[in-house]
Homo-oligomer: A and B are copies of this chain.
Amino acid sequence: MPNHAKLNFSLDEYVNRLAKTRRAMIDKNIDCLIVVDPSNMAWLTGYDGWSFYTHQCVIVRHDHEPVWWGRGMDAPGAARTTYLDSANIQQYPDHYVQSTERHPMDHLADLLTEMKLDRGSIGVELENYYFSAAAYLSLQTHLPRATLIDATALVNWQRIIKSAQELSYMRSAARIVELMHARIYEIIEPGLAKNELAAEIFHTGIKGKDEHWGDYPAIMPILPTGLDATAAHLTWDDSKLKPGDITFFEIAGCHKRYHCPLSRTISLGPPPQKYLDAEAAVLDAMHAGLDKAKPGNTCEDIAIAFFDRLETHGFKKDSRTGYSIGLSYPPDWGERTISLRRGDRTELRENMTFHFMPALWLDDGGLEITESVVITETGYESLATVPQKLLVK
């Protein structure tokens, strides 16, 4: 038996996750599921490591323990971090890595053939950062008798309702993001270089406090100022903050790979009236949206209430205004399942978790005041407590 010291969840919880996944496989007539999303690999087996830059997967069948497959030098990491029996940790030789001659998925196809899985239906995550077109073409070529079935986000959808242990980790992440925003507000001032501010954000977020130690977030801190904040995803450079600058901070606390994202905006000195108007509009509309955040309503109910109220203030937003969150690896801390937007009629259920993200990008800057929430039996609860306003210093 492997050493289970590093598992973040009970074996029972992993067993339940596997059972849910297998039921979803049955619904899609999938005999064997190839899970490449590192978040899904971790959720199913515990596997954790920055090895997703080379091909790897977890093979899920109905009647066997899952099999981890990856690069040889990462197999010891699978032994260290998963509950899997050593017989179920399979590796490929290093000459497959970033080779111009052979693809790691050629090796996986051979393994699947050895496992007599080459004639059935094989689910693959067609839309995933870690399942390239070349990976697909390799499996297609080398498994001519198999039927490849789109299983994009099949596992992600099993993750949308959080367990007590998962929520506990997200609450740790919430404590961390509270510390991060407090530290930003404490030190921000004209003359401070953006990278020095980013350095403090990282330091606070990774150090954490007490048992709430910080893991790396799946998205790096985004902290654009002024015109740069008309764009949604610029990071930082060494420019120095000036009086009057308005900067938004889109950051997350992370604990054991579970995230609590939270954005705030800080104005150095009194903000222009336009930003005060935008603040009032966003907060009013956000609460109109959150009033709909309860079991039985749908995701689009939140979004529509938000969009409609925002329009009464003279602002318009056409991008999605939130998404499901939890366990994640770069490049996205969202779960890539539920979106808070028109058309998403997913029913809200207790212990779903969202980043409600009513960001406004204006013609001369941006305003982000967001909340990460968990759906409760009767409504919602904010995970983190940070003053819900356009902060002024």
Contact B134 A126 (CB under 8 A): yes
Contact B137 A126 (CB under 8 A): yes
Q: Nearest Cβ distance between residue A333 and chain B, in whole angstroms? A: 9
Taken residue by residue from 115 to 147, chain A's Cβ proximity to chain B (1 for < 8 Å, 0 otherwise) reads as: 000000000101111111111110000000000
Contact B215 A193 (CB under 8 A): no
Q: How many residues of A contact B (CB 8 A)?
A: 89
Contact B202 A73 (CB under 8 A): no
Which chain B residue has the least Cβ–Cβ distance from A3? Answer: B227
A72 interfacial by beta-carbon distance below 8 Å: yes
Q: Nearest Cβ distance between residue A90 and chain B, in whole angstroms? A: 15
Taken residue by residue from 226 to 238, chain A's Cβ proximity to chain B (1 for < 8 Å, 0 otherwise) reads as: 0110111111111
A81 interfacial by beta-carbon distance below 8 Å: yes
- The CA-CA distance from A81 to B341 in the complex, in Å, is 29
Taken residue by residue from 27 to 65, chain A's Cβ proximity to chain B (1 for < 8 Å, 0 otherwise) reads as: 000000000000000000000111111000000000000
A103 interfacial by beta-carbon distance below 8 Å: yes
Q: Which residue of B76, B137, B206, B230 contacts A231 across the interface (Cβ within 8 Å)?
A: B76
Contact A238 B213 (CB under 8 A): yes
Q: Nearest Cβ distance between residue A165 and chain B, in whole angstroms? A: 16
A318 interfacial by beta-carbon distance below 8 Å: yes
Contact B74 A232 (CB under 8 A): yes
Contact B130 A131 (CB under 8 A): no
Contact B134 A231 (CB under 8 A): no
Task: Enumerate chain B residues within 8 angstroms of A78, measured Cβ to Cβ.
Answer: 231
Contact A334 B98 (CB under 8 A): yes
Q: What are 16 A-B interface contacts by the 8 Å CB criterion?
A: A49-B231, A52-B331, A53-B331, A73-B232, A74-B233, A80-B234, A95-B343, A97-B320, A97-B339, A126-B132, A127-B135, A193-B213, A199-B204, A199-B206, A199-B207, A211-B238
Binding site for B on A (CB under 8 A): 6, 48-53, 71-81, 93-95, 97-101, 103, 124, 126-137, 150, 152-153, 193, 195-196, 198-200, 202-208, 211, 213-216, 219-220, 222, 227-228, 230-238, 318-320, 323, 330-332, 334, 336, 339, 341-343, 361
